[in-house]
Chains A and B, each alone.
Chain A
Amino acid sequence: MKEVKISDLIGTPNAILHKFGLQVFETVSQHISQNEQVTLSFEGLRNITSGFCNASIGNLYSNFKEIAHQLKLVGLENKPIWKEKVQDAIDLATNPQKVKNQNEAISELFT
C-alpha cells in the first residue's frame, strides 16, 4: 500500500489551487496504473476546495474505472464539509445528471 500525503506533495497545507489537484492526480495515477493500492491522506491540510477535489479525486474517478477499489482516502474523519466536497467531485465525475439538475435549478433564476 502506497501512502501519498497531500500536504507533503504540494508543499502547503492549503490545497486550494487546481494545479495542486493535478499534481495529486499525476502522482496517484502513476501508482494506480501499476495496479498499486494507494492511501491518499488529507492529514496536515488546513483548506481544500472543490476545484482541487475535481482536479485530483474527480479526475482519478474519470480516468480509472476501478479506482474505488484501489484508492483509500484518510484524514477526512470529522470533516463533513471536506467529505461533501470529495463526494461532489466523485459525483461530478460519475453522475453528470445530478450536476445537470443543480445547474438547471440555477438557470431558472435567470429566466
Chain B
Amino acid sequence: MPEYTLRANNGAIHTDIYGYLSLLNFYNYARTVRNCWITLNLDGINFIDANLTALLLAMINSLEKTNKLRVFTDFKSLKGDLHILFRNGFISHIGKKEFEFKPYDSRDTTVPLKYFNCNDADGFVSYIENNLIIQRGLVKVKFTDKETVKTSYFEIFDNVGIHANTTEPIYMCGQYFPKLQELKVTLVDLGEGFLTKITEFTKDSDKITQPADAIRWAINGGSTKKDAKGGTGLKKIFWFCKKSGGSIHIITDGCYWNFTNNGLSTQRLSNPFVGTTIHLIFRYLSI
C-alpha cells in the first residue's frame, strides 16, 4: 500500500501558505496512484490547525472520486495535539463513520468538520447557527457583528452554488485558539475557481485575466450574476475580518492571496488543488 508522510516545518501545519503546501504535497503525491488504499502517515507532524481538515478532507474525497483511492490513517499516530482530529470529526469522516460517530469536543475549541450539498441551504444555516455562531470564540462578539459573519457565510455558500459550477459538496471546519483569541475558519469548494467566470463577465470592459485581480474584483463586491445584482458576502466579511485585526486567505486558480493588517501578498502555486479555499482568521474576539 502506498504511503505518504505528512511533513511541515517544526512538525506544525498552520493556516498559511506553508500549511497549504504541506497538504498540497500530499494531494499531488496521491494523484500519482490509482485504484488502491493509501496510508496517510501523520508521524511527521505534531500539530495541525483543525480548520485545515476541511481542505484535507476535500482533497481525500476528491481523490476517492478521481483516482478511486481510499485513505487509511493509523489512529495510533494521533498523539498530543493531534487528538483534535478526533474531536472535530475528521477521523470519523476518514473512516466513513461520520453519521454514526458524532464528534464530541470536550474542550469546545472546534467548529466541527462537515460538508454540505450546494442546495442544502437549511443544513448549512443550521451548521452556522448551531456550531459557528455559538462557538465560544464568538460568544462576546456583539449581535450585529455575529449577524455579519453569519450572513456573509450564507452569501459565500450561495455564491459557490451559483458560480463554482459544481455539484460537489462544500467543506467547512474551524478552530478557536483561546490564548491567542483567534478563530480560524476554512471553507472549501471543488468548483471552477474565481477566474473563469470573472474573465468571461469582464471581457467587454476591463478584462480580468489574472487570478489575483479576480479575487480583488470579487472582494470589491463584483458579481457575475446576470439576472440581478449579487450579494456582498466576501466584501462584508472582509471588512469584519479587517476590523477585528484578522486576515483573509483565498486560494484559487493557483494563486495564494492573503490580506492582513500588514497588507496584501500574493504567491503563485504550481499544481494547485481544484476549486477555492477561503481561510478567515478572526481576532480580538473576546474583547
Contacts and interface: CB of A to CB of B under 8 A. Distances in A.
Contacts of B219: 106
Interface string B206-223: 000000000010011100
Contacts, number: 93
From DSSP, what is the main secondary structure of chain B's interface residues? Answer: helix
A62 B227 CA distance: 11
B1 interface: no
Interface in A69-90: 81, 88-89
B207 to A, nearest CB: 17
Contacts of A16: 121, 124-125, 151, 154-155, 157-158
A103 interface: yes
A32 to B, nearest CB: 16
15 contacts: A16-B121, A16-B155, A16-B157, A17-B121, A18-B230, A49-B154, A50-B233, A54-B231, A55-B228, A58-B228, A81-B144, A106-B238, A107-B220, A110-B216, A110-B264
- Indicate the size class of the contact surface on chain A: 20 to 34
B116 to A, nearest CB: 12
B161 interface: yes
Given A106-B220, A106-B235, A17 B158 contact: yes
A50 B121 contact: no
Interface of B: 121-122, 124-125, 144, 147, 150-151, 154-155, 157-159, 161-162, 216, 219-221, 225, 227-233, 235-236, 238-239, 242, 259, 264
Contacts of A95: none
Given A16-B154, A18-B162, A50-B155, 10 more contacts: A16-B125, A17-B158, A17-B161, A48-B151, A50-B232, A52-B231, A55-B225, A55-B227, A106-B220, A110-B216
Interface of A: 12, 14, 16-22, 25, 46-52, 54-55, 58-59, 62, 81, 88-89, 92-93, 99, 102-103, 106-107, 109-110
